[in-house]
Structure 1
């Protein structure tokens, strides 16, 4: 843990952080502001973490890595913690479950629900739980938060229903056990992975289904245990043995051998005519791809491959037929913006690039200026989820996405 911290400097930086969170609309209630002001973030960070990193607006701090250096546990960025607390609509006296422990967020929750509330924080990793318990004890919250080593997929033993559940790890699905332990009018906040794209969604129960009330963009370490979900990964070697790795959340092509030798073929380019000014976010384009682009994947390119030297804003691609294509941009708007396009390789490279560009254009028509809403329909409910291109099957249910009626109907 961080020791010998300048308490006055930490308090000043906390004030600055809170002011930014208010200005950016991430804090909207006095209760969340009071919690973030009361709890010293630095006490829940690894020893030696600089206060500038502790109190950064969008800095997440890794607390544990695996043998390959991949993050297994982290303290989420301040902005997303604030958003998720707001999404949960917490009030004094509530009973709250946190899935994915670390200590800091549980302390925030305890501040909001107060002495009459109840907070349970669980994690599958006993090291993470031990660290969270130690930090909570040292910060005066040990008696207000129950910490348990539990695989969240199976719920929490010896606990009644919760008013709210806040999931702080990337979840591919919503576990039936969570819904069994959520009150009929309860709220669940979950970073839901939808075809390799994550949105933090605040859901409220509405009969058999869950209906979104708010969404936010953020990334999280993936869930471990029985609720984890592994991508299917394929490798495309180039002539020198360097590889491009394609990761499919679902819908991986049956025959990837059709891409053998693809990186040695002549590159195809297709441009969309869709532009965006510099500094304007286009993250919902990735969400659109995840829902409407058949063969959608994420990719990484080893140094030395033909793709590695190119400027890649985001590593999103598509496999279609015998071709692989990926998102690219080029200068536009007289140097003040960029145009979206796709580059493809393989015998079907131009067709794959065209498929991606068609969805860029569809996003521009139907999704660019609107915010979608989501619903989750658990399996076995009395009300069945609609079918079609706006529904995504999960293990325990179906997720649906809806765009405002005046935006038109998305088309594949």
Structure 2
């Protein structure tokens, strides 16, 4: 019995320490979210982990892997859960749908909505549903509905919902999610946009969704009807250099077969950032302005030095006709910052490397420190003239929706716009 008391005391200490860290980092900003994260015993929902691992503020706990060992379900890190709960702005008495079950997040939601609210959690995997249901019941949350279904259809029998929280990586927004959301309700979803995942807070109004917040994140991909794997292009037919596209690869990709036989062009931008500085707006800016934007990965076991990225598993890249280019960086002389540069290969490599560098410089002068793009989600088939307009935008067509990224210059001093996207600025 004394061991149990000691463990409980240690768990409470670790839980408080994690919450204190998240308050200091700005991931927890409201009293209700702080209160529930101090109250609910996270370790009771991740029995697979040690107490120290359960209360690591920035690390997820994997709860299921596939036959290849890849994670297919996890309990998100406390930082991610706090971030999304803050984005959702849960109020007492609300009806909430959680898409992607684990048990713990549903417990947080049940505490936030109180006895006058309702929480439904849904997952496609029967093992995950059984696990979540057992943990919720064992920890006193019998009021939470646990449903097994493909969440692409939502859970219509308990709709409408004031809030929908998606805790799996989504590529698209199924119509059911909007249809089951109240007018003025909010959807929080880790949405993949051109290979970049952002936890978006989206307000529902007038038949479409508009962003209220955006945070960098990573999630286990959603499975089921709306699973989307993207496309890969092997440069020169080898797995040494792979270009990953999210919305269709360029036509005539065979034109790249001889690209790696040309000299590599290199341009340095003069733009520097701190080594721990968040560059999410730069990523989204390049994804907006580059037509054939992609992510380049390099197999280090096959690497012959044809390309020399600073990050072999995730480099921002784009195809340009017969060639391609990518972003890289190098440390400054004082070793406190890094400078962005561009590499390119192909017959027009010098010009394309300069184009990439110019985009980085434009981001530096017009968008760095700003709110990032305003993101809207309209139903597929919405005419262009009914989408947001502006001098700098990108429309991305998906199966169910049209996603629009619209930019305004950060230097305009539009404080109201910046206030609606407080977490997209560089820190």
Same fold (TM over 0.5): yes
Gaps of 5+ in 2: 413-427
Quick one: structure 1 residues 358 and 259, their matched pair in 2 at CA, closer, same or farther if it must change by over 3 Å? same
Shift of 1:348: 3.7
Of 282, 287, 307 in structure 2, the residue corresponding to residue 285 of structure 1 is 282
> Residue 44 of structure 1 contacts residue 104 of structure 1 at CA under 8 Å; is this kept in 2?
yes
Equivalenced residues, count: 402
- Encode CA deviations 1:226-253: one digit per residue, 9 max, x unaligned: 1222211111258xx6522211002421
Which has the larger displacement, 112-121 or 208-217?
A: 208-217
- TM-score normalised by structure 1 residue count: 0.91
Please report the TM-score for the alignment, with normalisation by the length of structure 2.
Answer: 0.88
Q: Is the 8 A contact 2:395 2:404 kept in 1?
A: yes
Distance between the aligned counterparts of 2:55 and 2:308, measured in 1?
A: 34
Alpha-carbon distance, 1:381 to partner: 6.7
Q: Give CA deviations for 1:245-295 in whole Å, capped at 9, x if unaligned.
A: 211002421111111143343322122221223332223211112221121
Structure 1 unaligned regions, length at least 5: none
| Counterparts in 2 of 1:179 and 1:310: CA distance versus 1, 3 Å | closer
Q: CA deviation at 1:75?
A: 1.0
Instruction: Flag the 1:294–1:91 CA change in 2: closer, same or farther, 3 A.
Output: same
> Greater CA deviation, 383-392 or 329-338?
383-392
Asked if 1:407 is matched to 2:377, the reply is no
Any idea what SS the aligned residue of 1:227 has? Answer: coil
Query: Does the alignment pair 1:248 with 2:245?
Result: yes
Which of 253, 258, 279 aligns to 2:255? It is: 258
Residues of 2 paired with 1:55 and 1:355: CA distance?
45
Q: Do residues 101 (structure 1) and 105 (structure 2) align?
A: no
Partner of residue 199, structure 1: 198
Matched, 1:6 2:7: yes
Distance 1:393 1:20, change over 3 A: same
Map 1:299-338 to 2 at 5 A.
299-302=296-299, 303-307=301-305, 311-312=310-311, 314-332=314-332, 334-338=334-338
Q: Distance in 2 between matches of 1:267 and 1:74?
A: 41
Superposed CA offset, 1:66-116 (max 9, x none): 222222111111111111111111111111000111111001000111122
- Counterpart Cα distance in 1 of 2:58 and 2:81: 10
